[in-house]
Amino acid sequence: MKKNVYFVSGIDTNIGKSYATAYLAKTWNERGIRTITEKLIQTGNTDMSEDIELHRRIMGTGLLLEDKERLTMPEIFSYPCSPHLAAEIDKRPIDFDKIERATQTLSERYDAVLLEGAGGLMVPLTRELLTIDYVAQKQYPLVFVTSGRLGSINHTLLSLEAMTRRGIRLHTLAYNLFPEEDDEIIRRDTEEYMRDLLKREYPEAEFVVVPFLGTK
């Protein structure tokens, strides 16, 4: 597989990870980097990934051929929960070979693949495998989504420490302004802290502000 797959994770569920993934794909495409998004494992749906639908709305593309081929949503489970539990409820194991084949195909067709996970880095994919360990095994660079809400600094530092211990490279820290943070003082200070952190600890990583686009 080409080294053009970037794993997208975040500090928590509902941090706007899908929103940030779509925004990055849109901006990368506008810069001439042919980029597609993929959902590692979608839960809470049956036939179509709602996260992929959101990606396409923000990207302004409509559904792509690869969406119709299910390459961008290779595994979908019905119950809205952690992948390990969703697979158990639906009584079928996660097909990691199927996911790998889909990612491989997308990697060959595009310049970049943004592979969005479910929840944060410590979310279990199975009873034995955490998301962060899957990322480490595949050696994917990490796009990590954080925000300006209270608690984000703590969650970000814990995740980056765990990432570093496993040898995962931070490619981008995406500072998401969606959902909007009501406390402007906290938001501004958090952004300043994150920028300083990157300069000091991860100088090769990019800091990207994801603006509020007024869409869900």
Q: Which domains does the chain have, with CATH numbers?
A: 5-210 (3.40.50.300)
Position 216 scores a pLDDT of 47
CB-hemisphere CA count at 13 Å for 162? 20
117 is in an annotated binding site: yes
Query: Strands 5-10 and 142-147: what pairing?
Result: parallel
Strand, helix or coil for residue 84:
helix
Residue type, 123: V
Confidence of residue 179 (pLDDT cuts 50, 70, 90): confident
What is the chain's mean pLDDT, rounded? 95
Write the pLDDT tens digit of every residue in 110-153: 999 999 999 999 999 999 999 999 999 999 999 999 999 999 99
Judged against a pLDDT cut of 90, whether residue 2 lies above it is answered with no
118 is in an annotated binding site: yes
Helices (H), the chain: 17-30, 50-59, 65-68, 83-89, 96-109, 131-138, 152-165, 184-201
Catalytic amino acids? 39
- Is residue 30 classed exposed, middle or buried when 0-12, 13-18 and 19+ CB atoms within 10 A define those classes? exposed
Judged against a pLDDT cut of 50, whether residue 86 lies above it is answered with yes
Position 214 scores a pLDDT of 63
Mark 41-78 as b/e (b = at least 16 C-beta within 10 Å): bbbebeeebebbbbbbebbeeeebebbeebbbbbbbbe
Strand, helix or coil for residue 52:
helix
Write the pLDDT tens digit of every residue in 17-50: 999 999 999 999 999 999 999 999 999 999 999 9
119 is in an annotated binding site: yes
Position 213 scores a pLDDT of 75
Which pTM value belongs to this model?
0.96
51 is in an annotated binding site: yes
Backbone angles phi and psi of 172, in degrees to 5: -145, 135
44 is in an annotated binding site: no
Judged against a pLDDT cut of 90, whether residue 60 lies above it is answered with yes
Structure tokens at 208: 């990207």
Position 138 scores a pLDDT of 97
